[in-house]
A and B are shown apart, each in its own frame.
Chain A
Amino acid sequence: MPELTVREALRDAMAEEMRLDQDVCLIGEEVAEYQGAYKVSQGLLEEFGELRVVDTPITEAGFTGLGVGAAMGGLKPIVEFMTFNFAMQSIDHIINSAAKTLYMSGGLIPVPIVFRGPNGAASRVGAQHSQCFASWYSHIPGLKVISPWSASDAKGLLKAAIRDPNPVIFLENELLYGESFEVPEGENEIVPIGKGKIVKSGSDVTITAFSIMVGKALDAAEIVSKDGINVEVIDLRSIRPLDIETIISSVKKTNRLISIEEGWPTSGIGAEIAALTIKHAFDYLDAPIERITGLDIPLPYAENLERAALPQVSNITDSIRNICQH
C-alpha cells in the first residue's frame, strides 16, 4: 500500500471529490494561488480553475457566511480556515446559519458544507493560535465533528464529509500534516463518519484519543507494554456523533478508561465520555475514569511552559500505571 502524508491525503480527497461532483468547491484564505497556507490545496487551482478554488480576502465572518449561503443555494463548499482559531470570527454562521437551518426550516433547507483546517496547538504560536475546538463544536446539534489522526482516515473521512448532506466540522492538526501513513488507493475508499477505530488491541486499560493524541497514546502503550501492561487504544475519529458503543465494549473488556485530549478539561470531550461510560458501564469500572487534558490555562509561548501545558507521553504512561494499580 502506498504511503502518503496527511497533507497529501487531504488534498487527494478534495481533488477526487471535485472530479466527481461539479458542485464541490474550495474557498478560503490562500487556498488557490498560494496553494494553501500549509500547502494542503497544492495543485487544486491548476486542475480546477479559479471558479472552483477561490482565494478569499481575510474576512472570516464574511466568507463563512458566503459559503453557507452557497450551500443553501445548491453548492457543496469546502471552507478552509487557515486555522480554526480564526473561525471564532465566524462561529455565528457555523452554528446559527449552518447547523440550525435544516431544523428551523422543517427540513426544507439542507446545508451541505465542510469547514476544515488545522485545530489545536501547533508549535509555540501562543494562546490565540493554539486552541482545540473539538468540545465547542461537539456541543452543537446539527453539526458533525471529525478529527482524524492517520492519513488514510483523513482521506476517507474528508471524502465522507464532502459527500455528507450536513454541515461537517473537520479538525486537522498542523503537526500531523507532514506525517506519513499507508493509504489505500481508490476514489471510493470512504471511512464512515461516526465510527471509532481500535488502533491497538489490549486487555488492561482503554485509552480514547483523537488527532495528534492518538500517536502519543500509541507511544505510551508501547512503553508500558514493557511493564506487561496491555493497552487498548481507540482513535475516536468522529467526535460527533461519538462512537460510544466501541468505547463501552472496550471498557467492559478492560475495566479501566483514560480519555486524552489536547483541549481544556472543563466540559471537555473527556467529561462527555466519562458521563456516558458511567451510565453504560458503571458496574464494569475497576477504577475512577482518568482524564488527561491540556492544562486549564491559555497556552504559553516558552518551550518548557508549552510542553508542560500539553499532554505528553510521560503524562499518559504515568496515568496508565496509576490506573492499573486499581
Chain B
Amino acid sequence: MHIYGVQYFQNIEPPATSVGLTEMTSNTEKNNLGKKNKLPISKQSNKALLEYLKTMLTIRRFEEKAGQLYGMGIIGGFCHLYIGQEAVVTGIQAALKPGDTVITGYRCHGHMLAAGSPPKNVMAELTGKIDGVSSGKGGSMHMFIKGKFYGGHGIVGAQVPLGTGLAFANKYKKSNNVSITYFGDGAANQGQVFESFNMAALWKLPIVYVIENNQYAMGTSISRSTAIEELYSRGAAFGIPGKQVDGMDVIEVYKAAKKAVQNCRLGKGPILLELMTYRFRGHSMSDPAKYRTKEEVSKMRHERDPIEHIKTIILKNKILSEDKFKQLDKETREIISDAADFAQSSSEPLLSTLTSDVIID
C-alpha cells in the first residue's frame, strides 16, 4: 500500500468512539490469511463485522438477481453490476455519520443499498415501476436518497465537481459533514476531476475523493489509458494527500475511510483514497469482456472475493457458525427474492406523471 502525503495520516488519532480500530489490528497470529486477516476481539467490532457481511451479501445477492432479471428482459437499458466491489461502499459507508453526503457515477446500486435504501425500491427502479426510488424516471444510473445520496450520474466524471459542491454546501452551512465522492479509474482522467481537486484544496473543502480502481474503464485497462497508474498520487499537484487501499478488504477500507473522514471533519481539506478493487462481471450486462482473460477473472474471484474474505474472518473468530452463515445468506436471498417479486408486481408509472417533475411550479 502506498501513501502520498503520509504526514496527514500519521497525525490522525483514532477517536475514542470509533468502531474498534485498534482491536482490529491486534491479533493476526492465529490464521493463515496473512496480514489482511485481522481478528476483531471486542463485541462492538463483532457487531460491525456482521453488519459489513450483511451489507455485502445484500449487494451481492441483489446484483446477481438484477443480472438474472436483465437476462430475462425484465430490466432494460444499461445495467452496471457492482459484484466484486462490495467492500468499497460497505467500508466507506460505515465511517459516515448522519448528514454526510455521498455521490457517485452510473454504477450506483450498491451505493444505494449501502446508504440504506430498501432493496425492493431499488429493484423497482430497475424494473421501471412506480415504486422505484426515482418513481421509474431514473433507472439503473439515476437513483437518489434525499439528504444523503445524490446519485447516480451518467456522465463519467461529472459527479466529481457535484460532490465538491456538496462539500462546499457542507462547509458553508458549518455542518461538520463530509462529502464522499466516488469515481472510477476511467473518470480519473476527466479534466473536471482536476478542476475539482484544485478548488477543494484551495478552499479546504471537507471531501473524500474515493477512486474505485477496478482496473478497467469499460474495456480499456488502466495501463492502456493512464500514464501514471498510481492514482492515489493524482492529488499531489494540489497538495491533496492520497492513499492506496485494498478495496477487497472491508476492514482496511473502513479504517482508511475513518481516518480520511476524520481528517476532513478537522477542517484539513480533501483526501484522496484509491481503492484497489475488481469487478467480477462485465462493464455492463451487454459486455462480453474480451479485454481480459477468463483466468484473470477466475483468479480474482477465487483469491480476492471480498465476501469470502470477511466471511473467513467471521467464521474463524466464531462470530457466526457455518450454519448461521448459511442461514444469513438464505435470509438475504429471500429478501432479494421478495424484492424482485415486488419490483415485478409493482405497477408501471402512471402516464399522468410523464410530464411532472420537469419544473417545480
Contact = CB atoms under 8 A, between A and B. Distances in A.
A binds B: yes
Interface of A: 25, 51-52, 56-57, 59, 61-75, 92-93, 96-97, 101-110, 141-142, 144, 165-166
A73 B146 contact: no
Contact of B168 (A70, A104, A110, A166): A70
A65 B165 contact: yes
B229 interface: no
Given A65-B165, A69-B163, A75-B169, 19 more contacts: A56-B199, A62-B199, A63-B199, A65-B160, A66-B161, A68-B162, A68-B165, A69-B150, A69-B164, A70-B166, A73-B101, A73-B168, A75-B172, A97-B162, A103-B137, A104-B134, A104-B151, A109-B150, A165-B360
A102 B357 contact: yes
B169 A93 contact: no
B60 to A, nearest CB: 26
A70 B165 contact: yes
B227 interface: no
Interface in B113-171: 132-138, 142, 144-146, 150-155, 158, 160-170
A110 B163 contact: no
Interface residues of B, number: 45
Nearest 7 pairs between A and B by C-beta?
A: A69-B165, A65-B161, A62-B195, A73-B169, A106-B135, A69-B162, A104-B142
Given A73-B101, A73-B170, A106-B137, A65 B164 contact: yes
Contact of A74 (B133, B173, B196): B173
A49 to B, nearest CB: 11
Contact of A106 (B132, B160, B162, B196): B132
B85 to A, nearest CB: 23
11 contacts: A52-B172, A57-B202, A61-B191, A65-B196, A75-B168, A75-B173, A93-B162, A104-B134, A104-B142, A108-B146, A141-B359
* Consensus secondary structure, chain A interface: helix
Contacts of A109: 144, 146, 150-151
Interface of B: 101, 103, 132-138, 142, 144-146, 150-155, 158, 160-170, 172-173, 191-192, 195-196, 198-199, 202, 356-360
B357 A72 contact: no
A96 B199 CA distance: 21
B192 A72 contact: no
Contacts of A110: 360
Contacts of A65: 158, 160-162, 164-165, 192, 196
Contact of A59 (B151, B168, B199): B199
B192 A62 contact: yes
B162 A72 contact: yes
Given A65-B196, A166-B360, A106 B164 contact: no
A57 B202 CA distance: 9
Contact of A69 (B166, B202, B358): B166
A96 B155 CA distance: 8
Q: Which of A51, A66, A93, A142 has the most CB of B within 10 A?
A: A66
B106 to A, nearest CB: 12
A61 B146 CA distance: 25
B163 A141 contact: no
A62 B133 CA distance: 28
- Chain B CB within 10 A, most for which of A62, A92, A97: A62
B116 to A, nearest CB: 15
Contacts of A107: 135, 356-357
Contacts of A106: 132-138, 357
Given A64-B161, A92-B155, A106-B136, A69 B199 contact: no
A109 B357 CA distance: 10
B360 A102 contact: yes
Contacts of A142: 358-359
Contacts of B150: 69, 72-73, 109
A61 B195 contact: yes
B19 to A, nearest CB: 27
B175 to A, nearest CB: 9
A62 B162 contact: no
A105 B151 contact: yes
B139 to A, nearest CB: 8
Of A51, A63, A72, A144, the most chain B CB neighbours within 10 A belong to A72
B149 to A, nearest CB: 10
Given A69-B166, A165-B360, A105 B191 contact: no
Contacts of A68: 161-162, 165
Contacts of B191: 61
